[in-house]
Structure 1
């Protein structure tokens, strides 16, 4: 385990962009120094695939999030320097007991269709996510609110949910317990608003550009499915004069070599997930940007699908992976081998990183892997494993990783594994329907805290697709949510992670390191360790 690699402070520093092109310039246009003519503030990035949805209630993937984060604004938002600050809320008051938040909305907030943004929109949107009939992706993100969980699970009434619009500009939210980090929790996309009138009028309102109404810095100008999506600066956004990038074209090119060549020829201004074979030659160039990311690359088990109903067999597959070889020789992008679930990046009261406070939970050990496999087979009364299919989403880099794991399982366990890939939108549905034995996925925290990573695997989490649940794990997470002593809270989270790693419903593979190529013609992109690149303050400085 490498020591001292990332600290909380260092990660926060990485959230700050090069701001030289942003400043207080009121104009979205810059001038070419040679000709004096205005430079159109237009850029082209690559999504790599079709967004699963642009309705924040159902979004679950970074492809969708990248667009959504530019379209909608919550009561809080990330500021230009990466801090969590007031967004649609002009003022926030917290009761002395820490359980009641009163939000006052900005009077100038407008939807892109001209409707005022009101507290009623937020009440409607959050309760829509909680409505069990909605089947939203992330209702459990709102369970901190009094009455929310009971309503979402069919055990309570919507009238008991403590989300109340007192008037058009005042939203009152009552929490079950005092949560000092509630603003961080609210960075989840489940807290984003939608326009009630628009949603109620058409259940497919988010399927095409013309139906999408937004309250954030951008609107959807056009959407040519599976080809290109274009967003344009909203003229109704409350802070539009500070949005420097007028138009962003998102291409949807999934083949890494192709979008890399498009960047090299100037057809793309920003790409991520560089082809593995070009990383070394690009590392020393000015366009290359590399940032540790508070996220993890995993393979998820369905613990109700044989043979992964047995914990020892799940552990065997983890011990069979040589993560050092994988990150050095396959991914090559600065990723760190994951010997636990929670990434580097959170400094604790001990002065250490959370990840460094405990020894690795497992390391590459083919002898132990085979031993655990044999024990698991014996426990189940099996003489051999059933056929195993490993699923992954179509992408060149994911394919190379899947092929490397396939070979490791064969060499180190003697287990043949079939590979199956699917295009992104189909794959997301497959994963959510739990139609897999073992499948590629990953997770990034909405905020810098181990809770943002570990809470995913509670039995009541709407984002837990493993079919795994452990009452002791759930108890520790619930205690950690309300523990006010930071040292004690970290101890609870370590204990919870230990249970997760012992039961192994998910294989941590590596901690992500994001690699980008950013054109020298575009400055001011805010790269973040907890989210997608923020393009609103970007600026084209040359044609």
Structure 2
């Protein structure tokens, strides 16, 4: 044991030293670079190498942080999360809320100087919906008329099918985009700033369908920054886009997105000035960082949770574990045995709130008021009820219960939480689980294929509404990693999406969450907070409560 401890300590020291040398090799401290060259250069850590930075395929926060600075949608969000014009300088909405007409600004251009056209949006949206594209975020475009029907056009079980031409988006001319929705959606304008709705160039993508995002010459974008270099497993570097319509107001000259996953490495790099901005610092450091002002706790609409694999593929992974988890009493017992209050207080330490529902308490309803979440269980463990349910399922005191495996992506915080859960299940239920750490890209792939038993997961809101959480567990949602399949739930969510009566819609969403939490295909643990450490010279960064870092208005003081 002593030898292992020494080895771990040596590994941490070496990792920190290596991080410093790697970043120094890229040019030394940010402050020195900026002041010496006269340019404003910042280095920001993503925390993981994005699986993709394709707007139509991305489904990770890491990828989104890159995309929202490289691309621009029809609308933007300001520092108060309010919708402002983006590529569209104005728009009209029909009285029934079903028809939108967007007018693109004449000076909107791509990074190679070509004009941004309405056809670029039409192509991008239909590409993401195309079933051959296999976008996990296609569901976000189901608000479009016939969007879901087109996406499901190759599914023999689908009751409604449509062609691409029948999807409710059409370029009337180069600068006019007409959009028709399935139902009135009050947050639709907010969605227009989301990565999946951003434009891409057909000529670029179709010439380089598999690697267009990996090279500066093909990663043509229309936002405030454009790609300069893509160094695999090291950094993705951007420079100011001179062809962006608002380039005169963009103050930063260069952003280097680093992909360090180890907290000790990127925290050490921040302390020495090699990084200007990081989030998720080491949990043991958070209380002091918040106290002395080095870090700030930002609003963050999200839920940290675990998936139970309830899909048919679970039996191929571990038939005994799959059989146990098929019993809802087992899933509820596992959830009730967790002391969420202890996790947030003693493990995560970032001011998180124990999650007693799937929809976080910071979400508002259609009227802008609180959603008024129900408390489906206590923040602390209910061991007595958990043991009772487990015994009813045939596993008294955990006897005969199969060993489970939990996968999680690289981050010390995830490992610490997993270890705490492991200990609670062993102590409270007599259940053993093993833990397996995976690189983020690999974990997302395994989760998408339902090739696991327990999976660490989390969801950050795409827009401020309960629907952004409650439509995840629908059968056709590409981010439904649990494999939950409940036709009644699907029908209720579909009906709520087109319900125009605010009070009735809110009631339907509460009923949906009641159904979800009764079936428990996933286990909420806590509500996120976003703890960010930032160079004090870096100003006006918009840290969005949706998980994005916007550098459009940011500045680096001399």
Specify if TM > 0.5.
Answer: yes
Choose 288-297 or 340-349, whichever is displaced more.
340-349
Give per-residue Cα distances to partners, 1:227-262, cap 9 Å, x unaligned: 121111100101111112221111221111121111
Which residue matches 2:451? 435
Which residue matches 1:529? 545
Say whether the 8 Å CA contact 2:309–2:482 is kept in structure 1.
yes
> Matched residues in 2 for 1:80 and 1:496: separation?
32
Which residue matches 1:238? 245
Change (3 A) 1:201 1:361: same
Unpaired segments ≥5 residues, structure 1: 1-31
Show the 5 A alignment for 1:404-483.
Answer: 404-483=420-499
Which residue matches 1:301? 308
Say whether the 8 Å CA contact 1:343–1:355 is kept in structure 2.
no
Which residue matches 2:14? none
Q: Does residue 177 of structure 2 align to residue 178 of structure 1?
A: no
Change (3 A) 1:333 1:222: same
Change (3 A) 1:170 1:475: same
Give per-residue Cα distances to partners, 1:254-276, cap 9 Å, x unaligned: 11112111111111111110101
Q: Kindly report the root-mean-square deviation, in angstroms, between the aligned alpha carbons of the 2 structures.
A: 2.1
Give per-residue Cα distances to partners, 1:494-524, cap 9 Å, x unaligned: 1111111110111000000111111112111
Change (3 A) 1:288 1:314: same
For the residue of structure 1 that corresponds to 2:504, the secondary structure is: helix
> Matched residues in 2 for 1:352 and 1:112: separation?
40
TM-score normalised per structure 2: 0.87
Q: 1:323 aligns with which of 331, 340, 343?
A: 340
> Matched residues in 1 for 2:220 and 2:120: separation?
13
Which residue matches 1:12? none
Q: Does residue 224 of structure 2 align to residue 224 of structure 1?
A: no
Structure 1 residue 324, shift from structure 2 partner: 0.6
Say whether the 8 Å CA contact 1:389–1:419 is kept in structure 2.
yes
Q: Does residue 108 of structure 2 align to residue 109 of structure 1?
A: yes
Change (3 A) 1:174 1:77: same
Structure 1 residue 96, shift from structure 2 partner: 2.6
Choose 457-466 or 267-276, whichever is displaced more.
457-466
Say whether the 8 Å CA contact 1:340–1:355 is kept in structure 2.
no
> Matched residues in 2 for 1:101 and 1:394: separation?
42
For the residue of structure 2 that corresponds to 1:229, the secondary structure is: strand
Which residue matches 1:22? none
Using CA pairs under 8 Å that are at least 6 residues apart, name the structure with larger relative contact order, 1 or 2: 1
Structure 1 residue 209, shift from structure 2 partner: 3.1
Choose 461-470 or 513-522, whichever is displaced more.
461-470
Choose 456-465 or 233-242, whichever is displaced more.
456-465
Give per-residue Cα distances to partners, 1:347-367, cap 9 Å, x unaligned: 4599973245x3344552112
Say whether the 8 Å CA contact 1:340–1:501 is kept in structure 2.
yes
Show the 5 A alignment for 1:69-468.
Answer: 69-154=68-153, 155-203=161-209, 204-304=211-311, 305=314, 306=322, 307-347=324-364, 353-356=370-373, 358-363=374-379, 364-377=381-394, 384-468=400-484
Give per-residue Cα distances to partners, 1:276-307, cap 9 Å, x unaligned: 11112212223311023100101011103212
Change (3 A) 1:484 1:141: same
For the residue of structure 2 that corresponds to 1:210, the secondary structure is: coil
Say whether the 8 Å CA contact 1:93–1:103 is kept in structure 2.
yes
Change (3 A) 1:481 1:323: same
Choose 177-186 or 530-539, whichever is displaced more.
177-186
TM-score normalised per structure 1: 0.89
Q: Does residue 527 of structure 2 align to residue 511 of structure 1?
A: yes
For the residue of structure 1 that corresponds to 2:107, the secondary structure is: coil
Unpaired segments ≥5 residues, structure 2: 1-30, 154-160, 315-321
Which residue matches 2:10? none
Choose 86-95 or 72-81, whichever is displaced more.
72-81
> Matched residues in 2 for 1:207 and 1:225: separation?
9
Paired residues in the alignment total 505
Structure 1 residue 186, shift from structure 2 partner: 3.0
Give per-residue Cα distances to partners, 1:112-166, cap 9 Å, x unaligned: 1122110111111111011111111211111111121111101221121121111
Structure 1 residue 207, shift from structure 2 partner: 2.4
> Matched residues in 1 for 2:480 and 2:365: separation?
26
